[in-house]
Amino acid sequence: MKFADLGLSEELLKSVAEAGYDEPTPIQAQAIPPVLMMKDIIGIAQTGTGKTASFVLPMIDILAHGRSRARMPRSLILEPTRELAAQVAENFEKYGKNHNLSMALLIGGVSMGDQIKALEKGVDVLIATPGRLMDLFDRGRILMSGCELLVIDEADRMLDMGFIPDIESICSKLPATRQTMLFSATMPPPIKRLSDQFLSNPKYIEVSRPATANTSIDQSLMEVSPKAKRKLIVDILDHEGVDTAIIFCNRKTEVRDLCQSLRKDGFDAGQIHGDMDQSSRLAELDRFKSGEINILCASDVAARGLDIKGVSHVINYDIPWHPDDYIHRIGRTGRAGATGVAITFVTRSDAEHVDSIQKLTGMTIPVRTERKGSKGGNMPADKAPAKSASDKPVPAKSRAPRRDDAAKKPRQDDRPKKAEQDDTPKPSRQDDAPKKPARAARVRDEKPKVVQSGNDDGADDGWNGPMPSFLDAKLNR
């Protein structure tokens, strides 16, 4: 089947062809025709199957006829994270370049003023995260009564992030007569209740069994102690042909620490997590996509829906707490028909999480007790002998260029000896400069040091306030 067989307009087909696509994915082939027929749909598809285009493409053709009004968006797309919202916006810009449609992006972490100005002009497509949308609605800056089309994307992620009450509130403010599309990788009971409440006779589309992993991804587990994780990650990046990799951690602090550690080891590493402001997060993603860095340390904000081409490896430095997140994490590799590698570090305390993931995916993930050696054969991951920096092969795309050996700091035994140490006898202790006493020690026959008021030299001994009169009199005797 070709995109031309789905009923899309000539202008849209031209944009799709210019983007390099000819044949739709299964979710696109099944979803686009009913969306064009204005039917409600429920789409169940694993990550990386092209579901974003399955609603973006028909929406462009539907919205091509009509006129936007100030503060009244014609359509609304809800996304759980800022990154996903920005990615959907990029899709609209790419596929809608031959249409005169206006778009606004409502996400947190950026100025609200520009977003309000865009709403005042009127928008055809509003892409938003629930929090910022509710904020602007409560301020009276946006009206929902003109919205004819609603998309709830990554519904199971919305559930995990606690957005379901906000979604219910948003849906109650929209016109009762509208078209609604709901997309999710899984269909837990709360999402099923949400669809029953707000969708009208939806067409159910499922292109793969819920929570199945991409079969083109080579998955494995590696047993490791918590203290040995840093060494093992360096071994993998050095010896296993890693081109580009996303390394997932459960905690934001671990993301920061790991990124700093890898940079010290000479890797081109970046980071993305929830404590970073939006501009910094997007900047790191752009650096990763452009190849300026080839290793991205990330929390689960990067696990859902991000379409980054050419990711060769996904490494779960920490096994995810929720089994669904495992599916989405490893889905960052093996996209668009490519193959990929997913490695998960597991400790003795992770047995329950491994069992939950294997039950959800319906498969047994093999445990790899060996890593690929750099010079023939395999080597146990927990018994690999430590190598010096000079012996360790460094792939061109894994590590940043090292400094020249001449510029390195000399070792202690290579440093030139001082002339006075060779030609003159060592001075006696009484000839040395007097050693500075410790903070708590007092020098006999000296007056106690008193820090005057207003001193800001950082000293933390002595009085740091106005001098008491009795002490002033005693010192001035």
Per residue in 169-185, pLDDT tens? 999 999 999 999 999 98
Grade residue 426 by pLDDT with cuts at 50, 70 and 90.
Answer: very low
pLDDT of residue 443: 37
For 207-260, the pLDDT digits (tens) are 865 556 667 889 999 999 999 999 999 999 998 889 999 999 999 999 999 999
- Can you spell out the DSSP letters for 32-98? HHHHHTT--EEEE--TTS-HHHHHHHHHHHHHTSS--BTTB-SEEEE-SSHHHHHHHHHHHHHHSTT
For 132-149, the pLDDT digits (tens) are 999 999 999 999 999 999
Judge contact between 149 and 100, C-beta under 8 A. Answer: no
Rounded mean pLDDT of the chain? Answer: 80
- pTM of model > 0.75: no
Sign of CA dihedral 157, 160, 161, 165: positive
Specify burial of residue 397 (Cβ count, 10 A radius: 0-12, 13-18, 19+): middle
Weakest-pLDDT range from 103-112, 158-167, 385-394: 385-394
DSSP state of 418: P
pLDDT of residue 75: 97
Residue 473 predicted with pLDDT over 60: no
| Distances 320 to 236, 270, 303, 315, 458 between C-alpha atoms, Å | 20, 20, 11, 11, 44
Region 351-367 average pLDDT:
90
DSSP state of 410: P
For 137-155, the three-class secondary structure string (H helix, E strand, C coil) is HHCCCCCCCCCCEEEECCH
Rounded to whole angstroms, how far apart are CA atoms 395 and 94? Answer: 35
Judge contact between 90 and 289, C-beta under 8 A. Answer: no
Percent of the chain residues past pLDDT 90, beyond the cut: 53
The two structure tokens encoding residue 457: 């030299």
CA-based R_g, the chain, Å = 30
Region 367-385 average pLDDT:
50
Rounded to whole angstroms, how far apart are CA atoms 218 and 345? Answer: 14
For 433-466, the pLDDT digits (tens) are 444 333 333 333 444 444 443 433 333 344 444 5
Place of tokens 């968006």: 73
Residue 130 predicted with pLDDT over 90: yes
Which domains are seen in the chain, by residue range? 3-206 (3.40.50.300), 217-407 (3.40.50.300), 437-477 (no CATH)
Determine the straight-line distance between the first and last CA of the chain, rounded to whole angstroms.
102
For 320-344, the pLDDT digits (tens) are 988 888 888 888 888 766 788 999 9
Judge contact between 353 and 231, C-beta under 8 A. Answer: no
Residues facing residue 341 across a β-bridge: 218, 313
Residues facing residue 286 across a β-bridge: none
Rounded to whole angstroms, how far apart are CA atoms 289 and 282? Answer: 10
Rounded to whole angstroms, how far apart are CA atoms 35 and 146? Answer: 19
pLDDT of residue 398: 46
Strand order, beta sheet including 179-184 = 103-106, 125-128, 75-78, 149-152, 179-184, 41-44, 203-206
pLDDT of residue 425: 46
Judge contact between 99 and 64, C-beta under 8 A. Answer: yes
Grade residue 301 by pLDDT with cuts at 50, 70 and 90.
Answer: confident
Q: Which residues contact 309 (CB under 8 A, 6 or more apart)?
A: 289, 335, 336
pLDDT of residue 138: 92
pLDDT of residue 322: 85
Residue 415 predicted with pLDDT over 50: no
For 33-70, the pLDDT digits (tens) are 999 999 999 999 876 678 899 999 999 999 998 888 89
Rounded to whole angstroms, how far apart are CA atoms 119 and 128? Answer: 12
Q: Which residues contact 359 (CB under 8 A, 6 or more apart)?
A: 323
